[in-house]
Amino acid sequence: MSGTPAACGVPLERAFAALRTLEPGCHACYVYDLDALAARARRFRAAFAALDPLTAFALKANGLPAVLERLRGAGVGAEAGSLGELELAAACGCAAEMRVLNGNGRTPEEADWAAREGVHSVNADHVAELDLLERAAAAHARPLRVALRVNPGIETPGHRYVATGGEEAKFGVSPGEALAAWASRGRWPHLALDGIHLHVGSQLTDPAPLERALEAALGMAEESARRGAPLGLINLGGGFGIAYDGGAEFPLEAWARRLAERVAGGGLAWVLEPGRWLVGPVGVLVAEVLWVKRRDGRRFVVLAAGMNDLLRPALYHARHAIEPLAPRAGASEPAAVVGPLCESADVFAEDAMLPPLEPGDLVAIRDAGAYGAAMASNYNGRGRLAELVASGGKLTRARAGETAADLVARRRNDVLIG
């Protein structure tokens, strides 16, 4: 959506004004361009078409039903990391064979749901989990296909909180454990334990770690076949990075070509789990400027959105491009763009070059479609923001903003329980 401050032909200022007629007290909102989302989904699927993978959108990036439904319409399934995400995927019309259950804290309820309602596959995080999945599959007399998550010891660049494939990471089993489990898969007669899952990190802009993950997966598949337990499924996870604040984007088509060449004719089933790449660039956080304060020559621009609305800058030192919707005339100068919460980490940019800004102006925080609203909280007694979607030049409020009254209404649910 970079360039014009519009979503799908709807100017963002108009979108915000329209929301204000519904929610007069609102000072910020998320806006997603669903047509751009569908175009990215088509581009992703076209790039990997030679492999014919299941593209399972990582719901944790954005769980708005309007987003999930649009992706489903573009042939994209869902990667769910919890019972809530499984239920959400199903409620949005995602069919059993399009759902992948992931996560490293499997509960009996998730295992039971997967066996009862059906999934394409389950990513199991460790060997003992297989016993739980086996019991659930046996109880429903329904086989479950399982990919064992392997920690390949692959380091990735970027913030350590989004690195998942290094030896320190909590995810997955060692290659040796995986090979032993596949070789003794007769222990779990109701599971089709023929898959490997790797997800080495997020916001990758260089395909090298994915290349290493692929080679690790192929090497293990070969070794497992040698031990009499051939694999049928490789799930390479997500991680495809986007161009935040002028940075590079993951070379999607080049990597897809390389992957297809490397594995042509292998007869394997494939799963990919993109999250950020699909939805990140199509979302924007629109926020009103509340105050402009100068102290010792430094300009602080206080927005009506804060770290409870978009946590990425505070948690990962992530930087999102920020621009006024209607830039005022005048020279750009540095500004600390901050939120209104009582936390020193509540900062979107330390010194963004921005033109003059006045209270009441609107700014767009770009590339906020992934891990934005999905990670929002009520911290500091703040309601989560409204989410708008634009499609075909039409604007819909897809989720209402929470008000102070909403927070007060659910302030207590006392039940005497002991």
Q: Which residues are catalytic?
A: 342
In the complex, minimum distance from the CB of residue 130 to ligand LLP, in angstroms, rounded to a whole number: 18
Cβ–Cβ under 8 Å, residues 221 and 255? no
Residue 58 touching ligand LLP (CB under 6 A): yes
Of the residues 8, 12, 41, 61, which one makes contact with ligand LLP according to CB under 6 A: 61
Residue 371 touching ligand LLP (CB under 6 A): yes
d(CA 170, CA 160): 12
In the complex, minimum distance from the CB of residue 164 to ligand LLP, in angstroms, rounded to a whole number: 6
Q: Which residues contact 154 (CB under 8 A, 6 or more apart)?
A: 165, 166, 200, 209, 212, 213, 216
Show contacts with ligand LLP in window 200-219 (CB under 6 A): 202-203
Show contacts with ligand LLP in window 237-276 (CB under 6 A): 237-240, 273-276
Token reading at 327: 């830039």
* Half-sphere exposure of residue 292: CA atoms within 13 angstroms, side-chain side: 15
* Half-sphere exposure of residue 128: CA atoms within 13 angstroms, side-chain side: 5
Q: Candidates 20-28, 56-64, 104-112, 137-145 — which segment interacts with ligand LLP by CB under 6 A? A: 56-64
In the complex, minimum distance from the CB of residue 77 to ligand LLP, in angstroms, rounded to a whole number: 12
Of the residues 79, 125, 346, 387, which one makes contact with ligand LLP according to CB under 6 A: 79
Residue span 307-326 as binding mask against ligand LLP, x where in contact by CB under 6 A, dash where not: -----x---x----------
Residue 35 or 79 having the CB closest to ligand LLP? 79
DSSP 86-108: HHHHHHTT--GGGEEE--SS--H
d(CA 85, CA 59): 7
Give start and end residues of each alpha helix (H) in 108-207: 108-117, 127-139, 175-183
Of the residues 27, 145, 199, 320, which one makes contact with ligand LLP according to CB under 6 A: 199
List for the chain the helix, strand, coil content (%; round to 5): 35, 25, 40
Query: What residue ranges bind ligand LLP (CB under 6 A)?
Result: 58, 60-61, 79, 102, 162, 199, 202-203, 237-240, 273-277, 312, 316, 370-371
